A and B are shown apart, each in its own frame.
Chain A
Amino acid sequence: MLFTVIAFLSACEYEFIELKKPDIDPDVPLSFKSDIVPIFQDDGCVACHSTTGIAFSLEEAQAYQSIQNNNLVDTANPQSSPLYVVPDPNSAEQHDKYSVDNAAKVLIWIQQGAKNN
Chain B
Amino acid sequence: MKKFTIILFALLIGAGSLLAQEEKKKDKPVRAPFESGILIDNQTVIVPTKKTLEFVIEHRFGEIKDHKDLWGIYAASNIRLALNYSLLDNLMIGLGTTKDQKLQDFRAKYIVFEQTRENTIPVGVAFYGNMAIDGREKDVFGKDYKFSNRFSYYAALIISRKISYGISVQVAPTFSHINKVQKEYEHDKIGIAFSGRARISPQSSITLQWNQPLEIEGIYEHHEPALKPKANIGIGWEISTSTHVFQMFVSSGRALVPQYNMMHNTNDFFDGGIMFGFNITRLWSF
Contacts and interface: CB of A to CB of B under 8 A. Distances in A.
A17 interface: yes
Contacts of A100: 137, 139-140
A25 interface: no
B74 interface: yes
Interface string A65-105: 00000000000000000000000011010111001110000
28 contacts: A5-B129, A9-B153, A11-B148, A11-B151, A12-B5, A12-B179, A14-B179, A14-B187, A15-B149, A16-B182, A16-B183, A16-B185, A17-B141, A17-B142, A18-B142, A19-B143, A20-B143, A54-B68, A55-B68, A90-B140, A92-B227, A92-B266, A94-B63, A94-B254, A95-B76, A99-B137, A100-B137, A100-B139
Interface string B1-29: 11001100100010000000000000000
Nearest to B264: A92
Contact of B183 (A17, A20, A48, A94): A17
B255 to A, nearest CB: 9
Contact of A89 (B2, B140, B177, B227): B140
B51 interface: no
Contacts of B100: 94
A93 to B, nearest CB: 8
Contacts of B264: 92
Contacts of A95: 76
Interface in A9-45: 9, 11-20
B110 to A, nearest CB: 6
B131 interface: yes
A54 B75 contact: yes
Given A14-B2, A15-B149, A9 B9 contact: yes
B64 to A, nearest CB: 13
Nearest to B130: A8
A85 B144 CA distance: 24
A96 B76 contact: yes
In order of increasing CB-CB distance, the 8 nearest A-B pairs are A100-B139, A17-B142, A13-B179, A15-B180, A18-B143, A19-B142, A54-B69, A18-B142
A61 interface: no
Interface residues of B, number: 47
Contacts of B2: 12, 14
B186 to A, nearest CB: 10
Nearest to B184: A16
Nearest to B112: A1
A17 B74 contact: no
Interface of B: 1-2, 5-6, 9, 13, 62-63, 68-69, 74-76, 78, 100, 108, 110, 127, 129, 131, 136-137, 139-144, 148-149, 151, 153, 155, 177, 179-183, 185, 187, 221, 227, 254, 264, 266-267
A48 B144 contact: no
Given A9-B9, A99-B137, 6 more contacts: A4-B129, A13-B179, A17-B181, A94-B100, A94-B254, A99-B139
A2 B13 contact: yes
A17 B236 CA distance: 37
B143 to A, nearest CB: 5
A46 B47 CA distance: 42
B75 A16 contact: no
A53 B108 CA distance: 40
Given A4-B129, A5-B13, A54-B69, A101 B179 contact: no
Contacts of A11: 148, 151, 179
B110 A20 contact: no
